[in-house]
């Protein structure tokens, strides 16, 4: 398998839109994959979901559970992989807000650090995130802060990404392509 060019790809979409499946199909085109998982096993349902996702991933892929220190994980793991698959920003932002309550400036700093880690990664990066800007305005301040922070992260990563894909009903809609990604999944 030839070495693929380094790219940054952002895969956006709603819940159950096929984001993770599509991102995994892209990542499977690379030789060495590190899966950066942001889901915290907080209850039995989450633990079952994590176990299911682990079974779905190819066994040679390395999985690193990183609910909070994502920028550090990107920096440390990029030297050992052809591609980093981050799944997902949605849960990462939730984890970050849970730890740093009422520290909005601190959270915005983490967004900038994360974007810099992605930009400087020696490996390709495929990041998965929910598009939350199409829904209603949350009734509670914490929901609005969450939506704003995730929206900011999505926008900043989209700005540095080579490819941005919006998943709708399992179908990829190309929003941005400045470099060809590893062969498109079918």
Residues annotated catalytic, as ranges:
53
DSSP string, 60-72: TSEEEE-SS-HHH
What sign does the dihedral 142-105-65-23 (CA atoms) show? positive
Q: Which of 183, 163, 182, 181 is nearest to 173 (CA)?
A: 163
For residues 74 and 22, what is the distance between their CA atoms, to the nearest angstrom? Answer: 21
Helix (H, G, I), strand (E, B) or coil at 92: helix
Beta-bridge mates of residue 68: none
For residues 11 and 128, what is the distance between their CA atoms, to the nearest angstrom? Answer: 5
């Amino acid at each position: 398998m030839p070495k693929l060019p380094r790219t940054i790809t952002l895969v956006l979409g709603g819940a159950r839109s096929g984001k993770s499946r599509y991102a995994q199909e892209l990542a499977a085109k690379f030789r060495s994959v590190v899966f950066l998982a942001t889901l915290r096993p907080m209850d039995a349902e989450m633990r079952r979901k994590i176990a299911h996702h682990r079974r779905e991933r190819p066994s040679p892929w390395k999985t690193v559970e990183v609910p909070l220190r994502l920028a550090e994980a990107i920096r440390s793991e990029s030297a050992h992989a052809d591609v980093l698959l981050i799944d997902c920003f949605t849960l990462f932002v939730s984890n970050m807000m849970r730890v740093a309550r009422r520290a909005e400036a601190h959270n915005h700093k983490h967004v900038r650090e994360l974007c810099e880690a992605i930009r400087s990664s020696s490996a390709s990066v495929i990041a998965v995130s929910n598009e939350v800007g199409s829904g209603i305005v949350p009734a509670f301040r914490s929901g609005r802060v969450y939506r704003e922070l995730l929206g900011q992260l999505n926008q900043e990563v989209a700005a540095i990404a080579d490819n941005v894909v919006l998943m709708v009903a399992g179908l990829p809609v190309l929003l941005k392509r400045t470099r060809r990604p590893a062969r498109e999944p079918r």
